[in-house]
Amino acid sequence: MFSNLRNKFLILNMAITSLVMLIAFSVVYLTTYNNIQTENQRKLDTAVTFPLAGSITSTLPDLSVGGDVPIIQGTGVVISASTLTPASSPSFLIQTDAEGNILHVNSFIDMPKQVYQEAADLAWQNKGRSTINLEDRLWLYSITPIQGNLTKAEYNGQSFVTVMNDYYRIAFLDITDTQRTLRDLLITFLAVGVATLVAIYWISRFFANRSIKPIAEVWEKQRQFIADASHELKTPLAIIMANYDALLANQDETIKSQKEWFDYMKAGTDRMAKLINDLLSLAKMENTDIVAAKSSFNISQVIGEVISSMEAMAKEKGLSLGQSMDPNLNLYSDLETVKKVFAILLDNAIKYSDPNSTINVVLKASKHRVLCSVQNWGKPIAKEDLPKIFDRFYRSDSSRTEESGGYGLGLAIAKMSIERLDGNISVESKPDGLTTFTFALGDVI
């Protein structure tokens, strides 16, 4: 059940994380893509407006402004080099007639004439597209129709072609690097996304296991608690039912003659009443809305009174009670709770002490806290049982507990009571049989 719960949590967490990462990466990628495409288009538009040698005009253009110097002259075609702005990418312009024949090339880069012809042919054949592949490079292009006359002129011994027709200007811009940048960005996002999801999965799995572990433990304790409570209630109920049947079988007898059966029934009801009261006490302490009634009291005196009230019980087993207490220690806490906790610990020590041994009670102040210890000699508590000693219904020695009439709830009540007062309780058991229960409370006055 808890494995399924963990898996559902992981699936939900991974789905939400993946969606958030997808949205974030998509926004970054699309923003970068749009910025790069806009910048490429701006550069292409700049290249389109750059002056060509032999532009449409009735007079020769001022080549000193454009910086055009004719370098190659062919039949009907002039190729010249241009010095574009420093921010420009590799680009070139081709001027064609209405049939796609090259009239003039203005190039930023030096390439063979046939390459320019191939570029013009590809652009002319694919007017619906905006990019072509040329010389293992990706080029963005635009075709601009222009009407007018191309005037033949002489300049520094070089001649320009005269064409009387409509013609087109095709601008090419190398966008290979920018497209590679977008591709690398996409690959980076994919790699980072996959690595991040793998890391998040294992981190989420780790914390999911840690989160579910206490829930599973509480669930198991609750299940065990129900089973143990049912078992504990079953025994006195069985006693009552058996004695009730015995009474029915002897209806003609007097009550006095059947007092034995009534005594057994009374013992069973008393056991159930004690168990129910303990369970109610635990339930009450789990209610966080109930505030402890704290007040100032002399804890030395309170502990002494509890010892005196239980001295007769200890003497019945031949036990002696030793005391080592600091006098007149004043504590600000819940008097009744402190008294109940100490009574539980002392009662526990009396039940499990070896006959004719000594129980020592130590009370002292330490760093604004009160430390109260109850020590007894008896059967040592196994090391593996120490962490469970304060669990409900836990009994390291069930046979001795049955004899003492306990249910394994006293120490659980003591622990919860001390923790509600912001204190702590611990147990230590040595192999020689010395067991010490200690609780600590603050607010020493």
Which of 96, 97, 67 lies closest to 80 in space, CA to CA? 67
Query: Collapsing DSSP states into helix, strand and coil, what is residue 263?
Result: helix
Give the containing element (helix H, strand E) for 441.
strand 434-441
Instruction: Give the pLDDT of residue 61.
Output: 36
Q: Where in the chain is the domain with CATH 3.30.565.10?
A: 295-441
Instruction: Give the pLDDT of residue 265.
Output: 84
CATH architecture of 212-286: Orthogonal Bundle (1.10)
pLDDT in tens, the chain (445 residues): 677 877 888 888 888 989 999 999 999 999 999 999 999 888 888 877 765 544 333 333 333 333 333 333 333 444 444 444 434 578 888 888 877 788 888 887 778 888 888 988 888 887 766 888 888 889 999 888 875 555 555 555 655 555 445 788 888 999 999 999 999 999 999 999 999 999 988 988 888 888 778 777 777 777 776 776 777 777 778 888 888 888 888 777 777 777 888 888 888 888 788 778 777 777 776 666 666 778 899 999 999 999 999 998 899 889 999 999 999 899 999 898 899 999 999 999 998 999 889 999 999 988 888 999 999 999 998 888 888 888 877 766 554 444 455 567 788 888 988 988 889 999 999 998 899 999 999 877 6
**Residue 379 near residue 351, CB atoms below 8 Å:** no
**pTM of the predicted structure, to 2 decimals:** 0.50
> Tokens representing 177?
């690097």
Rounded Cα gap, residues 400 and 26, in angstroms: 70
Instruction: Give the pLDDT of residue 19.
Output: 92
Instruction: Give the pLDDT of residue 71.
Output: 33
Rounded Cα gap, residues 204 and 252, in angstroms: 73
> Tokens representing 168?
């087109």
Which of 57, 77, 29, 37 lies closest to 151 in space, CA to CA? 57
Instruction: Give the pLDDT of residue 10.
Output: 85
Instruction: Give the pLDDT of residue 272.
Output: 81
Neighbours of 56 (CB within 10 A): 16
Residue whose token pair is 């304790």: 221
Rounded Cα gap, residues 147 and 165, in angstroms: 7
Residue whose token pair is 């702005």: 85
Task: Give, in degrees to the nearest 5, the angle at Cα 75 between 69 and 77.
Answer: 45
Instruction: Give the pLDDT of residue 147.
Output: 58
Rounded Cα gap, residues 412 and 407, in angstroms: 10
Give the containing element (helix H, strand E) for 117.
helix 113-125
Which of 341, 324, 332, 318 lies closest to 437 in space, CA to CA? 341
Q: Where in the chain is the domain with CATH 1.10.287.130?
A: 212-286
Rounded Cα gap, residues 25 and 17, in angstroms: 12
Residue 69 backbone class (left: φ over 0; alpha: ψ -120 to 50; beta: rest): beta
The beta-carbon contacts of 66-72 under 8 Å, at least 24 apart in sequence, are 68/106, 70/155, 70/158, 70/160, 72/113
Cα-trace Rg, the chain: 48
Phi then psi for residue 166, to 5 deg, are -70, 145
Full DSSP string of 360-422? EEEEEEETTEEEEEEEEESSPPPGGGGGGTTSTT--SSHHHHHHHT--S-HHHHHHHHHHHTT
> Tokens representing 276?
């129910």
Instruction: Give the pLDDT of residue 368.
Output: 83
Rounded Cα gap, residues 153 and 72, in angstroms: 16
Query: Collapsing DSSP states into helix, strand and coil, what is residue 355?
Result: coil
Instruction: Give the pLDDT of residue 8.
Output: 84
Instruction: Give the pLDDT of residue 160.
Output: 52
Instruction: Give the pLDDT of residue 358.
Output: 93
First to last CA, the chain: 50
Residue 286 burial (C-beta neighbours within 10 Å; 0-12, 13-18, 19+): exposed
Instruction: Give the pLDDT of residue 188.
Output: 93
Instruction: Give the pLDDT of residue 216.
Output: 78
> Tokens representing 192?
């980072």
Which of 79, 95, 81 lies closest to 169 in space, CA to CA? 95
> Tokens representing 240?
């009552």
Sheet arrangement for strand 102-107: 69-74, 77-81, 102-107, 91-97, 167-174, 137-146, 131-134
Instruction: Give the pLDDT of residue 437.
Output: 96
Residue whose token pair is 């072609």: 161
Instruction: Give the pLDDT of residue 395.
Output: 63
CATH number belonging to domain 295-441: 3.30.565.10
Q: Which residues contact 153 (CB under 8 A, 6 or more apart)?
A: 54, 59, 60, 159, 160
Instruction: Give the pLDDT of residue 186.
Output: 93
Q: Are strands 369-377 and 424-429 parallel, antiparallel or unpaired?
A: unpaired
Runs of H (alpha helix) within 176-295: 176-249, 259-286
Return the HEC string of 21-34: HHHHHHHHHHHHHH
> Tokens representing 384?
């593996």
Single-letter amino acid code for the residue at 26: S
Rounded Cα gap, residues 250 and 257, in angstroms: 10
Q: Are strands 91-97 and 131-134 parallel, antiparallel or unpaired?
A: unpaired
